[in-house]
Structure 1
């Protein structure tokens, strides 16, 4: 996904640009897999979300150093809306508490596809919508899970995360058009952290102070946010946005493999088929959109 708005200065990396994107994809999903470990450490998904967002906010505030909240009411509303969408995107952690990592992340990644397809006006774009719908159906059909049917609660939260991700895409574009730099995003992530912190404390309480919670939380924030954003920003200077988008369409596959290798989560054949269909829909949506449109993929902290 094209993660706009976050950067770590101007990194000078000499590795091939496609390798930077693939490394970013692997980093994101490794971080999400560690996020499941963080959930176990702090005793709940909301605790993991609150700690992750709080640490991400601190990192971004130190990096961008916003001196004040924008004075214009419209800018303040955009920042609050963007932060709310980021908090909603993190509902995927609640979904991950009920679903395999690959399934939860694949459903979440349909959000940007829906935004792109709603703006499409050509018949061939409907084919990619059908691919995505067929992929979702693979998760809902009987026999889609080796251990029985997938959790309705997990599916609901994954879809809520997808809706929030679609909203984040629209809001991040509007924010970028109105305000420059990473300061608005730093403030938005801070707002997201403040929104989720009460739920984190209610969910995990003193377990947030577990000795391993802070280093694990920092690893999650680094691998799933700071490092991939830096790599992608560097790659985008060398590659067309479409190429980056196609490479990032492998993210659902990377999520499934991270779940398998790091969390020992086995997926049924129908689930792998669903992941393949949604990945194909993502790649197709990116490659066939008009050149004046930005990539439909996006992600937040």
Structure 2
């Protein structure tokens, strides 16, 4: 019983580690925006992540069928579009708010996939947290272009969860390494076209490598491990901690102070995450590592 309980906690801890690393890495990545823009920063993040994951997991060791290759390609292309659109949104709207808007994607997946009444309780908590994070009816209006980029990232995030689950029977390292290479096909050409030779500055390259490892390589591997062991709807709700983690870390790293409404939003999202974890059914999916 104890071993089974510990095993069920592993994917939960993987998601928590993923959202924390992602928030830290993205906070540091914003420091590159004045130098190479959001496009160049995204290119370094995704490009270096692809190289790191290829070196670590060496996906050529596995045989990839045509069907699996198509699933990985779709997973990777949506991942690349999600990264690029999210970084474009960060140019004009705050980090915590951009994450909250982007979170509409996994919320939509969770609501579409839910089958038990208790699941809708946790979805409702997560939705309440999302609404409290958005400055609706108060404060300065959000930049419409930034909001549209964040909504586009939300749509890509929803597809990323679906496509990632379809490739979940493959070894996690196989999927994330090839998927990140596909993502680079989307992001790197855009970043090179925008930033040009500025991307070759050794200091920028070194900083970009660190950002890539912390904000992409590590989170992507942890998320794939979690997707292999969690139902799609549970993963979508559990990841609701990301807006809260982003808001908390942005307070310390980017001097973005939390309001009372943001604290209330944190309570709602944490409640949704903890509740979904406590009431989740054990997955019956076979695990292929």
TM over 0.5: yes
Correspondent of 2:96 among 87, 91, 102: 102
Choose 167-176 or 201-210, whichever is displaced more. 201-210
What is the CA–CA distance in structure 1 between the aligned matches of 2:128 and 2:74, rounded to whole Å? 31
Correspondent of 1:171 among 146, 163, 176: 163
Choose 227-236 or 121-130, whichever is displaced more. 227-236
Q: Encode CA deviations 1:101-158: one digit per residue, 9 max, x unaligned.
A: 1222233334223312211122333333333333333315121x4xx12222222222
Determine which structure has the larger helix proportion and give its number.
Answer: 2
Cα contact 2:52–2:213 (8 A) shared by 1: no
Question: Does 2:151 match 1:159?
Answer: yes
Unaligned 5+ runs, structure 1? 1-15, 295-301
Residue of structure 2 equivalent to 1:262: 253
What is the CA–CA distance in structure 2 between the aligned matches of 1:171 and 1:232, rounded to whole Å? 13
Question: Does 2:273 match 1:278?
Answer: no
Offset of 1:82 from its aligned partner?
A: 0.7
Question: Does 2:118 match 1:127?
Answer: no
Choose 20-29 or 277-286, whichever is displaced more. 20-29
Residue of structure 1 equivalent to 2:67: 74
Residues paired across the two proteins, number: 270
Offset of 1:55 from its aligned partner?
A: 0.1
Over the aligned positions, Cα root-mean-square deviation in angstroms equals: 3.4
Bigger RCO (CA 8 Å, 6+ sep): 1
Residue of structure 1 equivalent to 2:182: 191
Offset of 1:21 from its aligned partner?
A: 7.1
TM-score by length of 2: 0.78
Change (3 A) 1:174 1:126: same
Cα contact 1:102–1:259 (8 A) shared by 2: yes
TM-score by length of 1: 0.75
What is the CA–CA distance in structure 2 between the aligned matches of 1:27 and 1:47, rounded to whole Å? 20
What is the CA–CA distance in structure 1 between the aligned matches of 2:168 and 2:16, rounded to whole Å? 25
